[in-house]
Each structure stands twice: as structure tokens, then as C-alpha cells.
Amino acid sequence: MADGDDYAFDFLAAGATLGGVLAEDRGRFERRIARAKAKEYPRRSPEAWTKANYAASGLVDHLRETVPDLIPRIDAASMSEQEFANVYERGSKPVVVCSLMSTWPAVSEGRWTIEALLRTHAEDRFKVGEDDDGYAVYVKLKYFVRYMLETKDDSPLYVFDSSFAEREGTRALRSDYALPRFFTDDLFKLVGERRRPPYRWLVLGPERSGSYIHIDPLGTSAWNALLAGHKCWACFPPGAPKEALQPPRHEGGREAIAWWAHVYPMLLDSVDPHLRPLTVIQRPGETIAMAQRSARRLSAPSCAPSTLPISVAPALK
């Protein structure tokens, strides 16, 4: 896809499979989504999901037009693995790498377009959150795609699934992408597949969805490959004070879109360089890599297999 608007057009001009999904019983679809929301956020009323009206606020368009690209881009062919490690890993510098995924079947054979995913996985469930007891909340892909098309929620649900490659119905997806040559070092593999912590995620979400500002656990570095849509990132150095990046009572609470609406503007003009974010809008076909020492991050999902870093932001369609 050339850009996010093209991806939106693909939804609207979709083929028979998506058309069939949209023609299914609306009541059943609405009940499934309402149940998933109630499990993940049991104390949030249905009205609270659209209270801030971000969908109609123009915020996403404003971010798309104004967020500067401050993280460098490189072409994968221009650098060896050793050069990459010396400059970006040891230097703890975030970087956007182009041309790393063109040979993936997900891309080259179109296996991860929405239409293709629905043909093979419409009835499969993907994780969209956890309930208060830590149990995963799942939604069938056919219902989630319809939700993506229709939602006006301020901070929508999004798929963030670390077990897709193990479940019987979806494990074939792991053959649709490959580990890029810059990211083959992996100390956790030494403990074995059964004992290692989660290390790969399938991420799929509509505009405005995303993760709140955070640092990844266990000191991990990460890469995030984006197949479609746009993803907005903000990164901060390790010394940035938590109370400034995560004000305890800012409007909108701990949601990525609320952070961009209320916290990000306050940090732009800060006299403290630790509080001025490194930002970038990741485009389709690009992979962002972040060494753990390079900071807290804010990110947002689209369709991507990845090992995610610390992050915060909304998806920009």
C-alpha cells in the first residue's frame, strides 16, 4: 500500500469475502464486540467509549500533518549487520529500516491483506485484551474487521496477540514472515521455546488505537514491521522523568490517543531536552528498531508481526 488512505480505500472496495462479513447479522456482531469491551473494561460504560469524540475531532489528521520525522531512515541494502549493530544497537539509537520485508509471503504473495486474512482466518479468534483476572479476551477476526471499519470509539480495541503462532487455527501465519537479518541475536532462545517469555506479536488495529507510553519488560530491544496503514511513534531518552511523561491525572486517562491530545503538546516546547520526543510516522513497508536504552516509547498498531519495544501513539490510517 502506498499510504494509509489507500489502505482505507481497500476496505471500502473490498472483495466478496469482506462483503460477506459486512452482510452478516448486525446484532450478533454488536453483541460480540460489546462482550469483549465489557470483559476488558468492566467499569467503563458504553457511552464512555466515545465521550471525547476523538473520531470527529480532526486530531489524527493534525498529527499526520504536523508530527515531524526525527528518527533516521536507512535502506536495508546500504548497511551490513555489523555496521547496524555498531551504529544503532550499541549506539542505542532508534532507526527506521526500509526494504526488509519485501520477500515475506505476507507481502509478496498478499497473504496479509484484509481480504486474504478473512478468507483463511475469518472464524479464528485473536486476542484484543485481558479481563481483570488476567484471562485473554478474544474476538473472531470477522467481527474485529467489521469493528475496525465502523468504530467511532475514542481509543478502540486492537489485536495484540502473542500466541497466534502457537494456536492450531493461526499457527500457519508464522510462515508468512521471516526474522530480518539485523535482528537475529536472541538470548532468550537459549532457555528454550517452552520457557521463554512472549517475543512475537500480531498487531492489528483501527485509527486511534494504540498502546500507552511504556518501557518493554525484561530489558528487551525490539523491531516492529508495518505492513499497512501508518503508525505514529514518540521516543524519549532513559533519563526522562516518569511524572512528566505520564502525568497522573491528565485528561483522557491512560490511553495512547489521549496522551497525544493532552500530554504531547505540553512536551513539544519543553526547555528540558529529555522531555522533547523523538517522533516519526512509520509508513507501510518500514520496520522500526529500538535498542532498549533508547527510551520510553509510545506506539500504535496496524497490521504487523513484531517484537515490540517500549512505546506510545495512535494508528494513523
Instruction: Give the per-residue pLDDT at 308.
Output: 30
Would you say domain 4-316 falls under CATH 3.40.50.740?
A: no
Quote the pTM value: 0.88
Instruction: Give the per-residue pLDDT at 317.
Output: 52
pLDDT in tens, the chain (317 residues): 233 333 333 444 456 788 888 888 999 999 999 999 999 999 999 999 999 999 999 999 999 999 999 999 999 999 999 999 999 988 889 999 999 999 999 999 999 999 999 999 999 999 999 999 999 999 999 999 999 999 999 999 999 999 999 999 999 999 999 999 999 888 888 888 888 888 899 999 999 999 888 877 777 788 999 999 999 999 888 778 888 888 888 888 889 999 999 999 999 888 787 788 999 999 999 999 987 654 455 554 333 333 333 334 445 55
Cβ-Cβ contacts under 8 Å for 26 (sequence gap 6 or more): none
Instruction: Give the per-residue pLDDT at 316.
Output: 55
Instruction: Give the per-residue pLDDT at 121.
Output: 96
Instruction: Give the per-residue pLDDT at 19.
Output: 84
Instruction: Give the per-residue pLDDT at 183.
Output: 92
SS (H, E, C) the chain: CCCHHHHHHHHHCCCHHHHHHHHCCHHHHHHHHHHHHHHHCCCCCHHHHHCCCHHHCCHHHHHHHHCCCCCCEEEHHHCCHHHHHHHHHCCCCCEEEECCCCCCHHHHCCCCCHHHHHHHHCCCEEEEEECCCCCEEEEEHHHHHHHHHHCCCCCCCCEEECCCCCCCCCHHHHHHCCCCHHHCCCHHHHHCCCCCCCCCEEEECCCCCCEEEECCHHHCCEEEECCCCEEEEEEECCCCCHHHHCCCCCCCCCCHHHHHHHCHHHHHCCCCHHHCCEEEEECCCEEEEECHHHCEEEECCCCEEEECCCCCCCEEC
